[in-house]
Amino acid sequence: MARGHFISFEGGEGAGKSTQTERLANALEDRSIPCLATREPGGSPGAESIRELLVRGEVGRWDPMSEALLHFAARRDHVMTVIEPALDEGTWVVCDRYTDSTIAYQGYGQGLEISIIEDLHRQTVGNLWPDATIILDIAVFQGLDRIVSRGGETHRYEKMEIDFHMRLREGFLKIARQNSKRCVVVDAARSSDAVHDSIMTLIAQRFGM
């Protein structure tokens, strides 16, 4: 049995990652491709418990190293119990965030050395990187306006200062430049349908669908 493909969505707050993760997974299923949609932090029972520690509470609840360690504890459980078994069974995995988010948020956004995050990745999940990463790019204020307009509770990261979100966006764009064979930047300021169409074109080109 052929191993499944691993696709991740990345980007700042309000970029539409959750929506596009679900839409891509549904589109793949419609093409009779077995697919699992999942998210980080979370995606497994253990990782979802850790997620609550990361997204709830005061903005300054954790220092960057503590946050990174929590993210990788959740990520290891997610990879070991959900992602790797699915890929081994031939299922495609579409994940809302992965290690690039830790590099962007705790690295570029909060100042933790990137080399530390890369080492934590190697130590916890080895060399598992997505086959393709779609970075949804949107202007900071537009993304934050989307969050306000949708209503509901905001989490810790959404409440962080504007300068943090600016660094975050630049961090994701830098990640894309440094990993151009894996990462593709998609303009997320457009309608959900337009973004989805671009993503389907990219996936078809990348995987020969």
Q: How far apart (Å, rounded) are the C-alpha atoms in residues 68 and 207?
A: 32
Which one-letter amino acid corresponds to residue 116? Answer: I
Q: How many residues are there in the chain?
A: 209
**DSSP SS3 for 146:** helix
Return the CATH fold of 6-207.
Rossmann fold (3.40.50)
Q: How far apart (Å, rounded) are the C-alpha atoms in residues 187 and 190?
A: 7
For range 137-146, the mean pLDDT: 93
**DSSP SS3 for 167:** helix
Give 3-16 pLDDT, tens digit per residue: 999 999 999 999 99
pLDDT at 95: 98
User: Are the beta carbons of 90 and 2 closer than 8 angstroms?
Assistant: yes
Domain ranges within the chain, ordered by starting residue? 6-207
pLDDT at 168: 97
**DSSP SS3 for 118:** helix
pLDDT band at residue 151 under the 50/70/90 scheme: confident
Give 55-101 pLDDT, tens digit per residue: 998 888 999 999 999 999 999 999 999 999 999 999 999 999 999 99
Give 155-171 pLDDT, tens digit per residue: 788 888 999 999 999 99
Give 173-194 pLDDT, tens digit per residue: 999 999 999 999 999 999 999 9
pLDDT band at residue 52 under the 50/70/90 scheme: very high
pLDDT higher than threshold 90 for residue 105: yes
